[in-house]
């Protein structure tokens, strides 16, 4: 018998650990954004913000989540995050 729930949480933990390595030196909002986008894109298998917002399972309205994500995307990639990634 396979344990899909435990496999899902293990995979989510690995994704979030990777996102934390990239965003270690960033501010807390930027760390949260990096983790949300990384997990949302991988979970939804789509780069559309509405699909990403659906898979984040946040209690707020989808429109508010999409607005928050799009505001962060407009700022661009912080230089510290790009350096940590490379």
CB atoms within 10 A of CB 19: 20
Q: Which residue has the tokens 């780069």?
A: 47
Between 32 and 8, name the one with better pLDDT: 32
Q: What is the mean pLDDT of the chain?
A: 86
Per-residue pLDDT averaged across 5-30, rounded? 85
Which of left, alpha, beta for 71 (phi over 0: left; psi -120 to 50: alpha)?
A: alpha
Burial zone of 20 (CB within 10 Å; 0-12 exposed, 13-18 middle, 19+ buried): middle
pTM (two decimals): 0.78
Quote the tokens at residue 82.
């790009």
Q: Which residue has the tokens 């894109």?
A: 41
């Amino acid at each position: 018998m396979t344990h899909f729930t435990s496999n899902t949480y293990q995979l989510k933990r690995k994704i979030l650990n990777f996102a934390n390595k990239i965003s270690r030196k960033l501010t807390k909002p930027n760390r949260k954004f990096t983790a949300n986008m990384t997990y949302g894109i991988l979970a939804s298998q789509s780069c559309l913000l509405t699909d990403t917002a659906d898979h984040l399972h946040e209690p707020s309205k989808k429109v508010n989540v999409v607005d928050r994500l799009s505001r962060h995307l407009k700022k661009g990639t912080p230089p510290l995050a790009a350096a940590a990634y490379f």
